[in-house]
Chain A
Amino acid sequence: MRQSKYLYLSILLLVFFGLNGCKKFLDEDLEGKKSDLQFYQTADDAELALTGVYNVLSFANADNRIWVFGDVASDDATKGGIPGDQADIGLIDDFVVSTDNGNLETVWAIYYEGVSRANKLLDQIDGIDMDTERRSQIKGEAKFLRAYFYYWLTNIFGDIPVHTTTPTPEEMQKAATPVSEVYTDVIQADLMDAATLLPAEQTNLNIGRATEGAAWAFLSKSYLFQKKWAEAEAAAEEVITSGLYDLENLYRNNFEAATKDNIETVFAVQHLSGQAPWLGNRLNQWFAPRAENGYGFNVPTQSFVDEFEQTADSVYDPRLDYTVGREGHIWFDSVMFDPEWSPTGYMQKKYLQPLSEVPKELKADGELNYIFIRYAEVLLIMAEALNEQGRSPEAKTFLNLVRTRARNSYLYDENLPGYGTIPDGLLPDVTSGGQSEVRNAIRHERRVELGFEFHRYFDIIRYGPDYAYNAFQDKENFNYEEYKHFPIPQSELDTNHEL
């Protein structure tokens, strides 16, 4: 017994002290996830990373609030919703904006996350062994998207920190770059690269990806902000002469699910219902009346409605009822619009689908895209670029293309009363007037044609203080110099000491 005791113990003690021998014991691998060291290796990885960049565009993310700045802050819209709900949006509407306003925080965070994903992909893409043509396209798409993110950031926040490669934590301490340089060195540089790298068309399963035309159109749009009219003209010319784009016969086709991604679409943020996680458009809920399980935000003002032309017989520009729900008119399906739904008595329709398409309980999973640039805007950019170069007669041609399509609604839309005949005096061509009149006509046309497409506030600011003070007569807190751009959010100021 005694002998075996020591035998057993010796064995046990050997095991006991041998324990430290197993070095592998402390190796625990990631399960179900990849580390970035294992990623960016294959063509598939490049596509996954690129889709991750596109993902940032989506309005499936309720925090994607560019509409708060583009529309609510402008004279087109007011906050809407229940008083007190989303008070931060109301504060932007009223120009009482502190650096801790939640909308500043979320837009800043989302769009910089987009920049970050694009940077990471662009940093890594050259190391990936893949088809060289597709690699160039991916670079083009990533650069296009990076330009898109910076476009919104600089328009909303003005001078901002810029990263074009993935920064280390130390490099994230970064001073602001002036707006003009953000445009020239980043947005326009990226878009010019993109225009050469991207294919002319994206079809079938690639619909929704950036194209060469999108890059040119975006480039022309970006020049407007710097008053580089000749460059804007040249870029718009590329789009127009490509022959790949045209106006839809019906204005409303741009805002209906069945006809999305049509020939007028130059670049649109894509949405798709019924996915997990959701890739649908949440604006379908945010902008809808509470009666339809919506939140009722971003509602049109009287000023916006008044901007629409009407004939002597009080026939309105048909775009009004395509854009706005108002008393006495059908809302969707056969439901009459109830002005009680909105504090202004109006609601906008461009992101909304009828309940027959998206039921109440799936309200936040809409199908409609957000069209960032459509061909109509390219024509208006062209008109503006020409007019500002003193070529008003040429400008009118492009302006009138847009007006013609609008008035021709009466030839194509069976639902309009008096369908088949254009009412007398509706949206006549602009034929007279010098540069200044044409400028006003173009500004007017942009407002009604592109209303609620998140451009208005930036247009107002770009037109200058005189225009802006006029537009914001009823906003006592508006000050052009203060609100040319919104303040950089507090969380950035707290963490980036170079600002």
Chain B
Amino acid sequence: MKRFCIWVTIFCVFLSAHELSAQTFTGTVTDQDNLTLPGVSVFVKGTTIGTVTDFEGLYSIQILPGDVTGDSLTLVFSSIGFTTREFNFPVDPGATITHNVMLLEEIAMLDEFVVVGYGVQKASDVTGAISTIKMDEITNQPITRIDQALQGKAAGVQVSQTTGEPGSSVKVRIRGIGTINNNDPLYIIDGVPTKDIDGILNPDDIESMTVLKDAASAAIYGSRAGNGVVIITTKKGQAGKKRFSYDFFGGIQTHGHITPMCNTGEYLKIYNEAALTDGRDPIPDDIRSQLSNTDWLNEIFRTAIMQSHQVSVSGGNENSTYIFGGGYMKQEGIILNSDFERINFKTSLTSKLADWVKVGTNLNMTYSVRDIIGASGDGYGGNGGSVIRYAFFRTPPVPVYEENGDYSDLPNFDGYSQAKLNTWFGDGYNPVGLANKFDWKAKTYRVFGNIFAEFNIVDGLVFKSDLGVDLTVIDEKRFNENWGTDGRINSPNSLVVSSSTGFVYNWTNTLNYTRTFNEQHHTTFLLGTEAIQGSFHWQSGTDRDFPDQSPSMRYLGNGLTTSKGAYELASGWSLLSAFFRANYNYANRYLIEGVIRYDGSSRFSKNNRWGGFYSGSVGWNLHNEKFLSDVKWLSQLKLRASIGQTGNQEIPLNNYISVLGDEYNYPFGGYLNYGYAVETLGNENTTWETTTTYDIGLDMAFFNDRLFVTTDYYWRYTDDMLIPVPLPPSGGSASPPFLNAGKVLNRGWEFEVVWREVAGDFRYEIGGNFATLYNEVLSLSNGRPIAAGRIDNGVFATLTEEGHPVGSFFMYEMEGIFQNEMDIFTHAYQGPQIEPGDVKFKDQNGDNVIDEQDRVHVGSAIPKLTYGVTANLSWKNFDLSFFFQGVYGNSIYMQVNQDIEGFYRGFNVTQRYYDNHWTGEGSTDEYPRASWIGAANNKKASTRFLEPGSYFRLKNLTLGYTFDLKKAGAGRLRVYFSAQNVFTITNYPGLDPEMYESNNLRGENVKNADLAAGIDWGTYPIPRIYTIGINLDL
């Protein structure tokens, strides 16, 4: 304030009288292609004097003698995306100096700052394993969630959509699956931590994403960092640069590969073949004239529209910066009646209250609506079942609509009993009717942001206090309409309305001190505390027996039932922490860093709630050593090594006490009596899961920063894994208590490489990242394995067991097809009803009987290799980019094939089964005979339905052209065409190999996604999207 007053006084006094003695700088700022650059900030270092280049790239700046002290001054030229340049001039009042400047696009990584926990670090000082995602590569992709942006962009980060349904969740796994509990990373968005990023931001609002992969980088986040940390920084305004931008894309989406299914003629043929085999009534010929020939898969898909608009305004000066903007996005689903729509606003402001106090805020608000349909599973999880699954198995003779225009339900043909028709043509739901009758909407309102103040106490010592909030309100409404033959579906109709409020606040205080001693000893210290408290509240009402099902009557209270439901849940959790980090760097050659964090968590009993985490890491910048200074082709060579511990506390709240449930009611004398029973058993001895990571890495740059290579090898051990140890059911059905009783190893090799080249008008950059993963459960609660991924009553597809990966597929191994009676006779005894043409299972234990003991581990949903390749090319104003992404070495259990190739009910069958099934000795060793009797054996969970999940996908292809509008007095306009999910190379026979857990998980006892990943009940596929878009910058 004082300084400002003096400045004003001086300015006023000297303004007119001393104009002649002002020193003037003018010039043009251009980029390396000699294109003029508007909006470049030009200011005098150490002062508030500054300007911005105009549309022609011209600047002019006047400096009065009192403005600067000393006899030299420094002009600073900066612009986003360009390397900032500084020039020194002698103070020379009255002189006019013309100084043209060329700014180079920022390509060099070396001196970039990297975002790390609670701060930034010079890239050359980093000793942990960190991947940074460049957001400008993401903008071409029509993605709607920020976690999608991570896919294929960072080595060791596996990203998979759970389904292709618009707005559905995404699984992010950093360096494998460390636990049977929550494996989601911790996200830090502008300093505010959250485990849940559903509907939190528009990807366009992100400036950068940094993935902290090893303990050295993540340990500062302690008990929540066991699964890695993703730090997200949103866009901010730039001093001296006003900017308006509008981004739009719009396009169409279609489905990709479709599994060929039988038509009516083929269906009748194979049905009657089986009827002959099993001695059942065939479908009579005279019914044929009444039959339709419906292609059900084709009926449920549509060409869908997608559009997105995003506007933002930003700018600022030396004292304040601002950005605000908003966006609208709508994505129709490629399956009927599924949609996602979002509106978002963003504001970030910073302001200097004094030269030593800076305050600011970031505020993000989003509103999103999902129109949901069943996208995975068979309904066991409560979603009504996947529409795809019904489309797969609905038989083609049944029409979509009845003659009266209603959706057909049970097969309805004249002259045959319903029971016969059901047996012949099945009784599954009509998928078109099912999709269109889904009335299920989830609206999410999210407010996320922080306010902070930063105090520069003395030179190098900064105190920062940051208060963050995260509010999530979800309104969900689902009406189960009664329909179908004789109203058999959703009988009675019912309505569920629920509303949940989640609120988390955090208060983080840090003290940061940086000092260099004797020019060689660089030190940084960080000391901090953090308090986080979360609360959750959910309420729900149910009603049923609606006499009027019209949409306007689907509200609570309109049902006739007297027993309406009202439910409420509430919970809270808190975390209190202190942390410390010290960095020491000797002459930019030897780097060492240590971290300690001490956390207290409400999730554990009083005796076990405090825990400590640490890490230590070292780095050696060999390129700064004298002996390498002559090696011109080597611009960087850094060796890193780290060790550390992080934690995971994501297990159910209050797990340390046994909890009673209500609604265990019973009637006496014709009246309801309420009952309670113990639902979950507690264990007061539980404490954190601890993950210990060892990492060695190498960062290299060659040929004058043309080639960058980063590679890491890591071992990640999770100890004290919290396991709900399965107890014998004879002890009761209450959920078992958690025990710290397991150990998991993930290890792998990560490799990131980038080649950049500029040759005249032609520039290109090709980068790739590859990561291997080995996952193994080392020990598990006294060896007791965990079965998960229920596929039938008491039948599970996976078994998590010592010596195998988490969620490993466990089942019979198909050996072939019994070709003749002798084959059956000589093979291990498989059951009384086995006939030639049935599936032969391998007798794993050699006891000559095929039984449960012959099930073995046959594969895993965890890819052995994940990779991404990005290429960006530009020539003059054209740009072209490719982005490939893929996984290798995983398996998918294709449960839906049990229905459509298992041949056990009136379901349609695949073309490949129809063409290739066993019809006699020697016909095939792969697909068994068509027989319902045989199906009891043939459809058993076995490798028959296990398929390779590897894929290689051209995720994105974009061609753009940039118009330079500077001559027209504007900025620039880029127009592009982009195609997403262009093609996929895979041996997976289903619709899409990209999936994660199915909705069924919600209904299961073991609710961990990673224990039941890769089970395909007929999953909503990811769409192919063609868009055109514009980026307008003014």
Contacts and interface: CB of A to CB of B under 8 A. Distances in A.
A binds B: yes
B727 A25 contact: no
A27 B417 CA distance: 65
Interface stretch (A83-91, A311-319, A381-389, A397-405): A83-91
A52 B669 contact: no
Nearest to A171: B731
Contacts of A207: 668-670
B288 interface: no
Contacts of B653: 28
Interface stretch (B329-337, B469-477, B673-681): B673-681
Contacts of B2: 1
Given A19-B509, A19-B529, A113 B657 contact: no
B487 A270 contact: no
Interface stretch (B517-525, B788-796, B969-977): B788-796
Given A82-B427, A87-B936, A160-B730, A12 B665 contact: no
Contacts of A202: 668
A276 B565 contact: yes
B568 A32 contact: yes
A272 B670 contact: yes
Interface stretch (A183-191, A442-450, A487-495): A487-495
A270 B731 contact: no
A202 B670 CA distance: 13
A52 B664 contact: yes
Contact of A100 (B795, B833, B905): B795
Most buried by B among A12, A27, A116: A116
Contacts of A54: 666, 668, 673, 675
Contacts of A99: 852
A271 interface: yes
B677 A52 contact: yes
Interface in A103-141: 103-106, 108-110, 112-113, 115-117, 120
A39 B664 CA distance: 15
Nearest to B610: A26
Interface in A272-330: 272, 274-277, 279, 290-291, 293
Given A115-B732, A290-B422, A36 B658 contact: yes
Given A12-B455, A36-B678, A172 B488 contact: no
B465 A360 contact: no
Contacts of A104: 794
B423 A31 contact: no
Interface in B612-656: 653-654
B286 to A, nearest CB: 18
Contacts of B785: 494
Interface in B671-692: 671-678, 682
Contacts of A50: 675
Interface string B453-492: 0010100000101000000000000000010001110011
B7 interface: no
B563 interface: yes
B832 A108 contact: no
B831 interface: yes
Contacts of B499: none
Nearest to A119: B732
Interface in B561-619: 561-565, 568-576, 578, 600-602, 609
Contacts of A476: 832
A140 B288 CA distance: 65
Interface string B405-442: 00000000000011110110001000000000000000
B793 A105 contact: yes
B726 A495 contact: yes
A209 B486 contact: no
A45 B733 CA distance: 20
Contacts of B107: none
B492 A361 contact: yes
B602 A169 contact: no
**For this complex, into which size category does the number of interface residues on chain B fall?**
35 or more
Interface in A1-32: 1, 5, 8-9, 12-13, 15-17, 19-20, 22, 25-32
Interface string B839-874: 000000000000110000000000000000000000
Given A16-B465, A276-B542, A495-B726, A26 B574 contact: yes
Nearest to A89: B793
A348 B576 CA distance: 64
Nearest to B538: A32
A163 interface: yes
A35 B574 CA distance: 20
Nearest to A13: B463
B918 to A, nearest CB: 19
B729 A277 contact: no
Contacts of B488: 293, 360
A296 to B, nearest CB: 8
A359 to B, nearest CB: 8
A253 interface: no
Contact of B669 (A90, A91, A160, A204): A204
B354 interface: yes
A3 to B, nearest CB: 13
A256 to B, nearest CB: 15
A160 B731 CA distance: 12
A492 B730 contact: yes
B737 interface: yes
A25 B676 contact: no
B787 interface: yes
B70 interface: no
A42 B515 CA distance: 66
Given A1-B354, A31-B570, A55-B666, A20 B419 contact: no
Contacts of B663: 277
Contact of A85 (B482, B487, B660, B905): B905
B533 interface: yes
B87 interface: no
Interface in A71-105: 82-85, 87-88, 90-91, 96, 98-105
A363 interface: yes
A58 to B, nearest CB: 7
Contacts of B561: 274, 276
A361 B730 contact: no
Contacts of B491: 293, 360-363
A494 to B, nearest CB: 7
B488 to A, nearest CB: 5
B727 A495 contact: yes
Interface string A39-63: 1000001011111111101100000
Most buried by A among B562, B672, B725: B672
B664 A55 contact: yes
A276 B844 CA distance: 49
B457 A9 contact: yes
Contacts of B482: 361
B602 A28 contact: yes
A113 B793 contact: no
A115 B729 CA distance: 11
Given A12-B463, A276-B565, A17 B672 contact: no
A43 to B, nearest CB: 14
Contacts of A30: 654, 657, 659
A47 B666 CA distance: 11
Contacts of A277: 663, 665
Given A9-B455, A19-B529, A361-B492, 6 more contacts: A1-B2, A5-B356, A49-B676, A274-B561, A276-B564, A293-B487
Of all A-B residue pairs in the complex, the 4 with the closest CB atoms, nearest first, are: A102-B793, A116-B732, A51-B675, A361-B491
10 contacts: A19-B576, A28-B574, A35-B660, A37-B658, A98-B852, A112-B729, A167-B731, A203-B669, A279-B665, A293-B487
Interface of A: 1, 5, 8-9, 12-13, 15-17, 19-20, 22, 25-37, 39, 45, 47-55, 57-58, 82-85, 87-88, 90-91, 96, 98-106, 108-110, 112-113, 115-117, 120, 160-161, 163, 167, 169, 172-174, 202-209, 270-272, 274-277, 279, 290-291, 293, 338, 340-341, 360-363, 476-477, 489-492, 494-496
